[in-house]
A and B are shown apart, each in its own frame.
Chain A
Amino acid sequence: MNIEQTLKDAEQFLAPWAKELLHPEANRLDVAIQVDDLRAATSALLAAHWGYLSAITGTDLGVEVGQLEALYHFCNGPAITSLRIHLPREIDACLPSIADLIPSASFFERELHEMMGFAFHGLDVSSRLFLPDDWPENVYPHRADFSPDRAAPVAGRRADELPEQGVVGGNTFVIPIGPQHPALKEPGHFEFTVDGEIVTAAKMRLGYAHRGIEKAAESRNWIQNLYLFERICGICSHTHSMAYSLGVERLAQVEAPPRAQAIRELVAGLERVHSHLLWLGVAAHEAGFDTLFMYSWRDRETVMNLLEQITGNRVNYSANVLGGVKCDIGAEQAKAVKEGLTYLETRIRHYLEVVTTDAMFLNRTRGIGTISREEAEKFGLLGPTARASGLSRDVRLEAPYGAYHHFPVSLVMETNGDLEARCVVRLKELLVSCFTMRTIVDNLPEGPLTTRMPRKIPAGETVSRIEAPRGELFYYIKSKGGENPVRVHIRTPSLCNWVSVLEKAVGHQLADVPMLIAGMDPCFSCNDRVVTVNRPSTNETWSWKQLREHGIEYYKR
């Protein structure tokens, strides 16, 4: 189906509520609606199976305008429909919650609530998302009139108000994990309520790595931001800067030369290899399979060498500049890449065999954390986590960007939806990436590496979506024609995938939880939010003696 037809369909579904219809870009439909019509409009899109909710962007239009804006972005292939709602800029600007229609929206809504000060009817906001607990009430960092001195810590509160260890409610025990914990390489806090070995509720609190990058971006110029966004995440730094560059280039109506686009895709491919091998190692480590951890990290050094040879850096490559790339692929690099890929392909095939035949590893992965296709769709999962459940979500295929038109990748999908399938999807995806990278190196277009970019980016707003190693990465960029962006909103894939851990931990053994967390390849630094699911309402405190007696009784059974 072509984009025009898809957007026409959306237009038709939304016609009863639309106050204004705009086509800001060829692939975007912008529908202004009233607050009260939001739920009806969302239901209409859902009933027609028109795409999925990708992100909700909140913008403060400024004190003079006196309005807040909420944008609900629905994506269907390359087409994007944004429902635009304006609300008066008051503390109690209230939106109806759509979390009951789309579970993953609860993450987005809670972010909007904390950062922008929207209130939501029917959303539990009793605990903080990613701001510290000593953050003052009614101070919202993404509002235009925010200044850091208004956010002085509230006296008598701690930065993270966490319940004490071992608080018992009913016949359960709460096990806190993190923010510093051997199973976590990054800071996050989890509370797993367990009944014996079985997890009965899961809660998480993030925000330990929340730095306030979106706000910082508003005070830095377009070029500085490139390097800031690269440091959102050290693992997928190239995809962040690529999504940003593509968005800014679209605003400036500049297109990077074909050679630059191909090199961008090549570096993104290498980054995917490094990220997935890193993930394989960490997942193996969580399963107690340290041999595989060491082997996969040894082989990962091959791709690190290639990245270093091409870009000069091992981690934050800075390969992108606005309007192109800064590194070229010469004959020497091309040869090294091809040799490296040959080696990696044999190793990846070997790992594919290991994860599908090693009995010990299979005990930890087969049939664990199974997510059906329906659930994946309901949770709004993205990337390899979704593709392992038979949900074909891959921006590289749905909405090709950059050089993916010329050097396409093929879809890798598994249907089992368990941890084994997630391992297999990621490894097979690497083989596809290796094949594509080889094609790129062999058929690299000739031409310059950069085009000229204006220093001031013309006014406008755009959406840039690309496929990061963990799933769809969403950038919303708004310019007023100045040297700085007025708003950049970033929705990272890990945020959408967390729900798979929290939902699936319940009913599993506590020992499976680290594997479940690793299974979605979380990135704490990318997203810092919190959500509670399935929290039991019992609140009864047991003495140590009672607890011990319960334990003895439990294991007698």
Chain B
Amino acid sequence: MNKNNEQFWSQIIDKVRTWARLNSIWAVHFNSGSCNGCDIEILATLTPRYDVERFGIKLEGSPRHADVLIVTGPVTRQARERLIRTYEQMPEPKFVISVGSCSISGGVFEGCYNVGGSVDEVIPVDVYIPGCPPRPEAIIDGIVQLLASLKGGEPRKMARPANVEEMPA
């Protein structure tokens, strides 16, 4: 009886948590060496034309308060450790969105001496948004996909986009 009771309440709390999370995603943005193109498009999604605050999404300064880490850019050698530290500072459960071609595959910077490659070689990634840079609509779509997958409980891990290696530099 006691055990059932406990289970009942934990289910209720989980439901409330998911409901709250879905309606107030706080994101922290980390630029790991991008050209700024993706960053300004991410900012554009927050401003009146695209306005992701409709979905309760807010850009948060501190990783300690954030649910989602939005990473742009190929991971440069110097940013790598910082990216891991930022990720580690986030509370569980945490999700990572990798925005832009170069964060997915290195993109145009593939093979540069100071560039490590893709974000998912450094931290686990949940959503990939390709494009150089992706349009704000694409970024919103990526976030909405993340939200949709969260509804079903555990987030669906997106498959790494196919043919990344064959993409022209």
Contacts and interface: CB of A to CB of B under 8 A. Distances in A.
A526 to B, nearest CB: 8
Interface stretch (B5-13, B106-114, B122-130): B106-114
A294 interface: yes
A294 B81 CA distance: 33
Interface of B: 28-41, 43-44, 47-49, 60-63, 73-74, 76-82, 86, 102, 107-109, 111-115, 132-133, 135, 169
Interface string A108-146: 000000000000000000000001111100000100001
A442 interface: no
A159 B85 CA distance: 13
Contact of A301 (B29, B49, B62, B82): B49
Contacts of A524: 31, 36
Given A208-B33, A208-B79, 6 more contacts: A212-B115, A213-B112, A281-B47, A297-B49, A316-B132, A525-B36
Interface string A305-324: 00000000011100000000
B33 A211 contact: yes
Contacts of A158: 81
Contact of B86 (A180, A185, A278, A304): A180
Contacts of A187: 30-33, 79, 82
Contact of A212 (B35, B80, B108, B114): B114
B36 A186 contact: yes
Interface stretch (A50-58, A227-235, A331-339, A430-438): A227-235
A448 to B, nearest CB: 28
A209 B81 contact: no
Most buried by B among A133, A182, A185, A231: A231
Please report whether the interface of chain B is mostly helix, strand, loop or mixed according to DSSP. mixed
Contacts of B33: 187, 208-211, 525
A211 B76 contact: yes
A135 B107 CA distance: 23
Interface string A144-183: 0010100101000011100000000000000000011110
Contacts of A314: 41, 133, 135
A187 B132 CA distance: 19
A411 interface: no
A282 to B, nearest CB: 8
A402 interface: no
A304 B44 CA distance: 10
Interface string A204-216: 0001111111011
B81 A159 contact: yes
A523 interface: yes
B111 A160 contact: no
Given A187-B82, A216-B112, A224-B169, A278 B77 contact: no
Nearest to B135: A314
Closest A-B pairs by Cβ, 7 of them:
A234-B37, A182-B61, A297-B47, A234-B36, A212-B112, A298-B48, A315-B37
Nearest to A235: B36
Contacts of A241: none
B34 A227 contact: no
Contact of A159 (B41, B47, B77): B77
A297 B73 CA distance: 23
